[in-house]
Structure 1
Amino acid sequence: MPTDYHNHLEKGTLTLDYLERFVNQAREREISHFGISEHAYHFYQTKDIVSKPWMEERRYYDMKDYVDLFHEAWSKDMDVKMSIEMDYTPGRHKEMESFISSYDFDYVIGSVHWVGDFGIDLAEYRKEWERRDLYEVYRQYYDQVVTLAESNLFDIIGHIDLVKIFNYIPNDEEFILEQYERATDALKNSKTCVEISTAGLRKPVQRLYPEPVLLKMCRSKGVPIVFSSDAHEPSHVGADYGKAFQQAREAGYTSVMTFTKGERKEISF
C-alpha cells in the first residue's frame, strides 16, 4: 500500500479531467494513498509569505479554485488527498502557520528551494553554482532544513537533499555528514516525515532523494518516511518505485506514514 504524496498539476490545468489523469495513473500503479501538493507560490494567498520576481511571474492561482477542484473530485468518489508544497521561508512562521490552518489539508509538505535569492534547483540559476561558495550554499541550505523541522509546521519535508540536484557536491565527506547529522537531529524531535523521492532519478544528479547514508540516519533516529514521485505529469506518478522500496528496505524501513485530514497512520509496505 504505497504512497505518492508529492505531485503537481502546474503543467496542465486545475480541472477535473487533468486531475483524473493523475488519479488513474496512481490506480494503475496500485498506489493506495495518492495526493496532489501544488506549489504554494502559485497562489495569490501566499504573497505575504514569499515573493520573488521568479515566483510573481508564476502566481496565477486562487486557493478557492484549488479547494473547489478537490471537493468536485470527492463528490465523484475520486480518491485523492489535498495538500500543498510550501517553500519554507525563514522569518515567516506565523504567516505560514496562518495559511496552513486556513485550509483543510490532508497533509502539508515543506521544502527548501531557495537560499536567499538563489533558486538552487532552477535551470535559470544554474550558472550561480559556479559563482558561489559551495560549502556556504550547503550550510545555509541545511540551516533551513533544521529550522523547517524545528518549526513543526509540516507533515513531510520534500526532497531533503535537493541541494545536490545539479551534482554540485562538496568533496569533504565529514562536512556532508555534519549537515546530515544536524538535519536528522532536528527531524527526530519534530512531527516531520522524510519522503523517499524518485524525482532525483529524472534530474542531472540521477539519484534518489535522500542519499542512502542520510536515509539510514533518519531510520536510526526514528524519522518516519513516505514515498513520493514529485510527478509534474501523469506518466511520472509512481515512477521508479522499485528502487525507492529497495532503498527503504536497505535502510531498515518496513512501514510508511499515511495522512487523512491531518491524522496520521503508519502502515506496512
Structure 2
Amino acid sequence: MKFDLHTHHFRCGHADGTIRDYVEAAVSAGLQAIGISDHTPYFGEKAEQAFPAIAMGKSEIANYVEEVLQLKKEYEGKIDVLLGIESDYFPEHFETYRKVLSNYPFDYIIGSVHSVGGVSIFNKNRWKKLNDKQHIEVKEEYYRLIQDSARSGLFQFLGHIDAMKGNYPAFSDIPAERMMDETLQVIAEHGVAIEINTSGKTKLSGGWYPSDSILERACHFGVDVTFGSDAHKPSRVADELNQVAARLKEIGFKEWVYFKNKEKISVPL
C-alpha cells in the first residue's frame, strides 16, 4: 500500500496549491491514501493569525476541516483522503491545543517541535557564539520536548525528529547519543510512530529526516514508522516514497503504519 501522510496547502501561507491539487497529485502517483495535514493555527496567541506566513488563521480551521471532509466523500472509492493536521508542541499552551483539536474528527495529528527556547529550529543564527556545552544543551532540550510530545497522548506520530539539522547540518555531530536512545525508547513505550520525511532535501542538510543512524536505532527499539513527504507543492507528493520503503527494508523494518480514525494500521513494506 502506498500513502503519504504529510502535506500542506495555501492556507499556511508558505505552500502552493489547493487541497484538491494534492489529492489529484496523489491519485496520479498511484497512492491508495493521501493525508492532508496543514499547520494548526497558533492557538496560544491572541491574534486571529499571529504568523500569516507560517500557519492558517484560527477561523480557517473549520473551513479546512470541512473542505477535507468534502473531498473525502468525493474521492471515496478512488483514493482514501485522510483528515490530518500538524500541530506544534508548546508545553505552555498544550491544553489549549488539546481542547481545540478535540472538536474535529481528525484521522491523525502530527506532533512537531519547530521551536526551542522561543527560536525556530531552522534558524541557523541561533548557533552562533554558542560553546560546545551550549550546543549539547540546546540539542538535549530539543529532544526533551520531543519526549514530552510523545508522552502527551495527543499525537499519532511525530514529525521530522531530527529536523533541527535542516539549516545547520553540524547538528547531527553534536554528541547526544544517550539522549537520542532515551527519546526513541520513550516514543516506543508510548506507541507513537515517527515519520520518514523527505523534505530534508529542501534544506541545507539534504537527505531525509531522520538520518539512517536514527532509523537503525528506532528499528532496534521497536519504533513504528510512517511516511510523509511534507510536500509544500503538489509535485512533491510521494516524493522518494519507493526509495524510503527500500531503505527501511534494508535497515530491518518489515512494515510501516498509517492512521485512520486515530487507529494505527500496519501494512507490509
Q: Could you say which TM-score interval applies, normalised by the shorter chain?
A: 0.7 to 0.9
> Cα distance, 1:247 vs. partner?
2.3
Deviation at 1:11, TM superposition (A): 6.5
CA distance in structure 2 between the partners assigned to 1:98 and 1:12 by the alignment: 21
Partner amino acid, structure 2, of 1:169: F
Match of 1:128 among 126, 135, 152: 126
Among 35, 50, 61, the alignment partner of 1:56 is 50
Match of 1:245 in 2: 245
Q: 1:170 to 1:226 in 2, by over 3 A?
A: closer
Distance across 1 between alignment mates of 2:186 and 2:10: 31
Q: Pick the aligned partner of 1:168 from 164, 167, 170.
A: 170
Partner of 2:93: 92
After TM superposition, the score normalised by the length of structure 1 is 0.87
Query: Percent of counterpart pairs with the same letter?
Result: 27
Deviation of 1:156 after TM superposition, in Å, equals: 0.7
1:20–1:147 Cα change, 3 Å: same
Mapped pair 1:73 → 2:75: no
Matches within 5 A, 1:133-148: 133-148=134-149
Note if contact 2:136-2:176 (Cα within 8 Å) is conserved in structure 1: no
Contact 1:229 1:237 in 2 (8 A): yes
**What is the aligned partner in structure 2 of residue 8 from structure 1?**
8
Q: 1:251 to 1:52 in 2, by over 3 A?
A: farther
Structure 2: distance between partners of 1:108 and 1:170: 26
Q: 1:111: how far off? A: 0.3
The 3-state SS of whatever aligns with 2:183 is helix
Distance in 1 between residues matched to 2:46 and 2:126, nearest whole Å: 17
Structure 2 CA distance for aligned equivalents of residues 171 and 64 of structure 1: 42
Q: How many residues align?
A: 254
Aligned to 2:19: 19
AA partner of residue 43 (structure 2): K
The farther-off stretch of 162-171 and 183-192 is: 162-171
Contact 1:2 1:227 in 2 (8 A): no
Residues 179 and 37 (structure 1), Cα distance of their counterparts in 2 relative to 1, 3 Å cut: same
Secondary structure at 1:71 match in 2: helix
What is the TM-score normalised by the length of structure 2?
0.87
Per the TM alignment, residue 137 of structure 1 is displaced from its structure 2 partner at its CA by 1.6
Counterpart-to-counterpart distance in 2, 1:32 and 1:177: 37
Shift of residue 217, structure 1, vs aligned partner: 1.4
Q: Is the 8 A contact 1:88 1:111 kept in 2?
A: yes
Kept in 2, the 8 Å contact 1:187–1:223? The answer is yes
The answer to whether the 8 Å contact 2:12/2:39 transfers is no
* Contact persistence 1:159–1:195 (CA under 8 A): yes
Distance 1:237 1:84 in 2: 16
Unmatched tracts of structure 1, length 5 or more? none
